[in-house]
Amino acid sequence: MWLLTLQFCIQNQRHPSSAEEDAKNKPWRPISSGRITPSTATDLLTVVFLVTSLISYSLGVFPHYAVFTYLAVYHNDFGGSDAHGVIRNALNAAGFVCFFSGALKVVIGAGNPLSPMVHQWIGFFALALLTTIHAQDFRDVEGDELRERSTITTLVGESSARWILSVMTVFWSLFLPRWIGVEFCGGTIVAGSGCSVALMTVKGLGQRNAWLDSVMYRAYNVWLLGLCLLPLGLLT
């Protein structure tokens, strides 16, 4: 998964337009800070492609890797992330599903099929991502405007996008633990982290506080981790 993340990050940051945006939003990144050239990044990407392909094949999850790579290429190299806010969210959600389902396949063994309940869980997880992944966009509004990128925030407005994120985060925090049937404690942890995301998101209404939105996005990733761990409650 680390190699897949590295692959995506290189693809996402190596283009001139990406470096220009990062110079404004994320000047610490390797290319925008001048620590590595786009040409060197492309050479590194070729090596990463080869290594991840071989590892994925050896683990029996090459189809997951192939779908992830297709999504990443469309997202980063063919304007998928800029075309439309809903498409952007869908691509991000689908990429996470590749991560999640591929990791599950490795854990249970390539020869063992995923159960119907696991498929349902992955579907719900994808919907949760689809309706909340724009949490990443609030901290990058200025860069998105610079590239004229279509996001949920530009489609419906920042205030509406914040309310959507807040409401859906709370909804999934309550629904998913109940659906999967985990104990009260596990559900409380997810609900607590989800509510913190919702509160920080609402607190940002009417302002552009990059620091607050960055903290909120970190909390959002903790919430996602909590969702990923929910199925472990079935083993206790």
pLDDT at 185 over 70: no
Mean pLDDT to the nearest integer, 9-37: 79
Confidence at residue 57, expressed as pLDDT on a 0 to 100 scale: 92
Residue partners of 89: CB distance under 8 A and separation at least 6? 129, 130, 131, 133, 134, 152
Of 59, 78, 105, the one marking the end of a domain is 59
Domain co-membership, 88 together with 34: no
Domain co-membership, 120 together with 44: no
Q: State how many domains the chain has.
A: 2
Domain co-membership, 150 together with 73: yes
Of 59, 79, 103, the one marking the end of a domain is 59
Domain co-membership, 228 together with 167: yes
User: Looking at 106-115, 162-171, 209-218, which range is the least confident one?
Assistant: 106-115
For residue 48, give its domain range: 1-59
Mean pLDDT to the nearest integer, 29-50: 87
Contacts 24+ apart (CB under 8 A), 173-178: 173/223, 175/124, 176/124, 176/125, 176/128, 176/227, 176/230, 177/230, 177/233
Confidence at residue 67, expressed as pLDDT on a 0 to 100 scale: 93
Over residues 52-101, the pLDDT tens digits come to 999 999 988 899 999 999 998 888 888 777 778 788 889 889 998 888 88
Domain co-membership, 78 together with 156: yes
CA gyration radius, the chain:
18
Instruction: Indicate left, alpha or beta for 160 from its phi (over 0: left) and psi (-120 to 50: alpha).
Output: alpha
Domain co-membership, 109 together with 53: no
Contact between residue 84 and residue 42 where contact means Cβ atoms under 8 Å apart: no
pTM of this structure? 0.81
Domain co-membership, 31 together with 124: no
Domain co-membership, 49 together with 66: no
Domain co-membership, 154 together with 202: yes
Domain co-membership, 137 together with 222: yes
Domain co-membership, 33 together with 96: no
Domain co-membership, 143 together with 185: yes
Measured distance CA(60)–CA(37) in Å, rounded: 34
Of 12, 32, 59, the one marking the end of a domain is 59
